[in-house]
């Protein structure tokens, strides 16, 4: 079948590790279902996979089809969105706390292909009001943003949230969800285009990256890592929270602990989200009429263009590959 995959990772030149070609059709294990992919969205995780970087304790078994997220159709014709997180079979409760969880494209093949197989519970029937295009971005960036905002931040409507780095998938999701949830949304971006995009999506105020804010905020949402960390910790009010979940610019930071102690800050890490959170997110998107920002839609054969834009930092919302 057609597939976009990584034959052998390349840490220095991830684009060189990307292959657009053919891979074997997957077998469908007992209790799993086969999904014919119609839409699949790109995440920075796919770049990390091309570089051979993984948060798992075992190496990625290459060749590996890329892609965490997708929507598509089951063999019986049911349209579905994919929940990308796979747990040990007997897991109950919060899936993200399972020591054995992984996402598609880490241990099992990913979604940038004609077909993917997933455990039956990971294929969520699409409500009529949710298009497969928009459903295809929810599983990773949007789910993570939902959990950051709803589960981790403790924010109430009316409070001020700062999103570091406006243009990317998680950030645009945070802006749109924050606005829908009644927060006052502030953003930073390296570019004027990023700030324009954020304003169009509903952000109340925008600042160039690193700029001192007019006042401290209730919560900061940081997916950027090294280059924004000091600004994040310095921008939150006493008793506020910094929610961290991404290391796009690096993961080794230096933190002055005294302000953390004196200001009684909470630094909260988070990763992905639960199946229940994914269901709630889908309902929220439908009920609140939120339309996830899709910056680019490309046929899957042209996946390399989408990868290049992400590597070169030209993202404007999510990129979706169609099949």
Q: Are strands 217-222 and 160-164 parallel, antiparallel or unpaired?
A: parallel
Stretch that binds ligand NAP, among 2-10, 129-137, 300-308, 309-317 (CB under 6 A): 309-317
Tell me the closest approach of the beta carbon of residue 314 to ligand NAP, in angstroms.
8
Q: Which is nearer to ligand NAP, 136 or 167 (CB)?
A: 167
246 interacts with ligand NAP by CB under 6 A: yes
Write out the binding residues for ligand NAP, residues 127-186 only, by CB under 6 A: 140-141, 144, 165-171
Pattern 273-292, ligand NAP, x by CB under 6 A: --------------------
189 interacts with ligand NAP by CB under 6 A: yes
Instruction: Using alpha carbons, select from 201, 94, 200 the residue that is nearest to residue 147.
Output: 94
Q: Which residue is nearest to ligand NAP (CB)?
A: 168
Instruction: Give the one residue of 49, 232, 248, 296 binding ligand NAP; rule: CB under 6 A.
Output: 248
71 interacts with ligand NAP by CB under 6 A: no
Number of residues that bind ligand NAP (CB under 6 A): 31
Tokens of 251: 């993961």
Q: Which is nearer to ligand NAP, 218 or 293 (CB)?
A: 293
Task: Report how far residue 95's alpha carbon sits from residue 86's, in angstroms, rounded to the nearest whole number.
Answer: 8
Tell me the closest approach of the beta carbon of residue 238 to ligand NAP, in angstroms.
26
Stretch that binds ligand NAP, among 17-25, 43-51, 116-124, 177-185 (CB under 6 A): 43-51
122 interacts with ligand NAP by CB under 6 A: no
Instruction: Give the one residue of 233, 315, 320, 323 binding ligand NAP; rule: CB under 6 A.
Output: 315
Stretch that binds ligand NAP, among 59-67, 211-219, 246-254, 258-266 (CB under 6 A): 246-254
Stretch that binds ligand NAP, among 42-50, 83-91, 117-125, 175-183 (CB under 6 A): 42-50
227 interacts with ligand NAP by CB under 6 A: yes
Burial of 236 (0-12, 13-18, 19+ CB in 10 A): buried
Displacement of CA 175 from its chain's centroid (Å): 13
Stretch that binds ligand NAP, among 131-139, 151-159, 188-196, 260-268 (CB under 6 A): 188-196
Q: Which is nearer to ligand NAP, 33 or 203 (CB)?
A: 203
86 interacts with ligand NAP by CB under 6 A: no
3-state secondary structure the chain: CEEEEECCCCCCCHHHHEEEEECCCCCCCCCEEEEEEEEEECCHHHHHHHHCCCCCCCCCCCCEECCCCCEEEECCCCEEEECCEECCCCCCCCHHHCCCCEECCCCCCCCCECEEEEEHHHEEECCCCCCHHHHCCHHHHHHHHHHHHHHHCCCCCCCEEEEECCCCHHHHHHHHHHHHCCCEEEEEECCHHHHHHHHHCCCCEEEECCCCCCCCEEEEEECCCCCCHHHHHHCEEEEEEEEECCCCCCCCCCCCHHHHHHCCCEEEECCCCCHHHHHHHHHHHHHCCCCCCEEEEEEHHHHHHHHHHHHCCCCCCEEEEEC
Stretch that binds ligand NAP, among 15-23, 244-252, 256-264, 276-284 (CB under 6 A): 244-252
Q: Which residues are paired to 164 by β-bridges?
A: 222
Residues that bind ligand NAP (CB under 6 A): 43-45, 140-141, 144, 165-171, 189-191, 194, 209, 223-224, 227, 245-249, 271-272, 310, 313, 315
């Amino acid at each position: 079948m057609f597939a976009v995959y990584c034959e052998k990772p390349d840490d220095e030149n991830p684009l060189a590790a990307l292959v657009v070609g053919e891979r074997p059709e997957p077998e469908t294990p007992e209790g799993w279902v086969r999904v014919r992919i119609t839409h699949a969205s790109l995440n920075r995780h796919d770049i990390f996979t091309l570089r051979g970087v993984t948060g798992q304790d075992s190496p990625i078994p290459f060749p590996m089809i890329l892609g965490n997220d997708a929507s598509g159709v089951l063999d019986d014709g049911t349209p579905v969105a994919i929940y990308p997180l796979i747990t040990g079979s007997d897991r109950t409760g919060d899936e993200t706390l399972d020591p054995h969880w992984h996402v598609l494209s880490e241990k099992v093949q990913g979604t940038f292909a004609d077909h993917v197989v997933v455990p039956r519970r990971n294929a969520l029937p699409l409500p009529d009001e949710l298009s497969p295009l928009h459903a295809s971005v929810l599983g990773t960036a949007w789910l993570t943003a939902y959990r950051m905002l709803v589960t981790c931040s403790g924010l109430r409507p009316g409070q001020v949230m700062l999103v570091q780095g406006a243009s990317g998938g998680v950030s645009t999701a945070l802006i749109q969800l924050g606005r829908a949830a009644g927060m006052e949304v502030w953003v930073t971006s390296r570019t004027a285009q990023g700030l324009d995009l954020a304003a169009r999506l509903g952000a109340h105020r925008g600042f160039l990256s690193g700029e001192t804010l007019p006042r401290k905020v209730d919560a900061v949402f940081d997916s950027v890592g090294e280059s924004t960390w000091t600004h994040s910790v310095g921008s939150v009010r006493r008793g506020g929270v910094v929610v961290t979940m991404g290391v796009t610019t690096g993961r080794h930071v230096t933190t002055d602990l005294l302000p953390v102690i004196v200001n009684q800050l909470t630094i909260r890490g988070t990763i992905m989200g639960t199946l229940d959170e994914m269901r709630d997110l889908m309902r929220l998107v439908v009920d609140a009429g939120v339309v996830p920002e899709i910056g680019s839609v490309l046929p899957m054969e042209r996946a390399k263009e989408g990868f290049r834009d992400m590597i070169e930092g030209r993202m404007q919302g999510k990129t979706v590959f169609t099949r």
